[in-house]
Amino acid sequence: MTTMLQPGQMPAEAGGPTVTRIGVIGTGVMGADHARLLTEAVSGARVGGVFDVDGGRARGVAAASGGARVFADPYALIVDDGIDAVLIASSDATHEDYVLACVAAGKPVLCEKPLAPTVEACARIVEAEIEHGSRLITVGFMRRFDPGYTGMRALLTAGEIGAPLLMHNVHRNPAAVPGLPGSALITNSAVHELDIVRWLFGEEIVEVAVHTPRPSGQAGGTQDPQLLVLTTESGVLADVEIFANARYGYEVRCELVGETGTVTVDAPPPTSLRRGGLHARALPGDWRPRFAEAYRLELQDWIDGAAGGASAWDGFAATFVAHACVAALTSGDRHAVELPPVPALYRR
């Protein structure tokens, strides 16, 4: 396909109702979940094809998606006339090649976070999209669609808590792979907060520091937990506790402190149990149930061409700040973050 597609112009199956045929690359945990949502919970789209390095896994997801085609070659899927847009949920190291192939084919692409593992790879993707001349790439920072975060931003924007001063973030996973490098907690997990801080305040992070307590004995040698301190352009301080081996469950919450009030994002399940002197609520095991509605809304926004998602530039910026945090983790010093100017294609 050579059409120049703009956000708002998702291609659709010819002749019938407006149905966009999505090719899913990578059908592991996230790819399978996206395929399920596209099949069951999103209107105007269907899974048209799948690819995975594990053919059996791809066939399973294809069958569960109403008999989508199984491709043996991801690049054949990208250029196929029966595929209108591509969702990339394969391993991080493969993102760059697949996203570049989508841009070369002129097809809209939703790429799971991170856009790519290195700043240089993200820059190459941004350059390719600028060269193409219009926006095709969306990055899967789904928290931008979470009702808790959108509610927080609406209250902040409406002036309900006055000027923002501080933001406290908690991001805990029950368990991580033993021996994971400490940097992965930043590039894989805290990268969500790096994006949400830029999105919430509409300004850049200009300085970062990373503080570390003694590592948890449960963390298998990883520097875990970590405390990131981010300073924004206007002088808001955002701290992020990132704890990958918290053991008790998955939890993401935060509080924004303004001059005249605060806003809290929490996701308590509606059902709770009081028994034996305890008041208990179940916690999710991972991010999929916690952000189920955010993932659904993110996909619907993408299919509708509403362009509410993170751009390739946002993906570049998040990786850029993440790498400044990794440098700060290594050095123990504060690090200035000097992002290049926003290219015209991404200015609002």
Please, are residues 101 and 25 in contact by the beta-carbon 8 Å criterion? no
SS3 state at 265 = strand
Using Cβ positions, the residue closest to ligand ISE within the complex turns out to be 189
Please, are residues 138 and 109 in contact by the beta-carbon 8 Å criterion? yes
Based on CB atoms, which residue is closest to ligand ISE, 20 or 187? 187
Based on CB atoms, which residue is closest to ligand ISE, 84 or 195? 195
Based on CB atoms, which residue is closest to ligand ISE, 20 or 183? 183
Options 34-42, 185-193, 266-274, 317-325: segment touching ligand ISE (CB under 6 A): 185-193
**Binding status of residue 188 toward ligand ISE by CB under 6 A:** yes
Nearest CA to 254 among 169, 150, 175, 194? 169
**Binding status of residue 295 toward ligand ISE by CB under 6 A:** no
Using CB under 6 A, pick the residue from 287, 295, 302, 313 that binds ligand ISE.
287
- Longest Cα separation, the chain: 65
SS3 state at 251 = strand
Taken as a whole, the chain contains a residue count of 348
Using CB under 6 A, pick the residue from 169, 183, 189, 226 that binds ligand ISE.
189
- Name the packing angle between helices 312-331 and 119-132 (round to 10°): 160
Site for ligand ISE in 91-110 (CB under 6 A): none
Least distance in angstroms from the C-beta of 164 to ligand ISE = 23
Based on CB atoms, which residue is closest to ligand ISE, 161 or 228? 228
Least distance in angstroms from the C-beta of 234 to ligand ISE = 27
Number of residues that bind ligand ISE (CB under 6 A): 5
Based on CB atoms, which residue is closest to ligand ISE, 107 or 113? 113
Tracing tokens 């291609």 back to the chain, one arrives at 11
Per-residue mark of binding to ligand ISE, 319-338 (x: CB under 6 A): --------------------
Least distance in angstroms from the C-beta of 341 to ligand ISE = 29
Question: Strands across the sheet with 137-140, in order?
Answer: 69-70, 45-51, 20-25, 85-88, 109-112, 137-140
Site for ligand ISE in 150-179 (CB under 6 A): 173
Backbone φ, ψ for residue 80 (5° rounding): -65, 140
Options 35-43, 188-196, 199-207, 294-302: segment touching ligand ISE (CB under 6 A): 188-196
> The tokens of 323 are what?
């790498």
Options 11-19, 91-99, 184-192, 265-273: segment touching ligand ISE (CB under 6 A): 184-192
Nearest CA to 191 among 245, 125, 255, 242? 242
d(CA 27, CA 30): 7
Please, are residues 58 and 51 in contact by the beta-carbon 8 Å criterion? yes
Tracing tokens 């999103």 back to the chain, one arrives at 42
Based on CB atoms, which residue is closest to ligand ISE, 188 or 300? 188
Which chain residues interact with ligand ISE by CB under 6 A? Answer: 173, 188-189, 192, 287
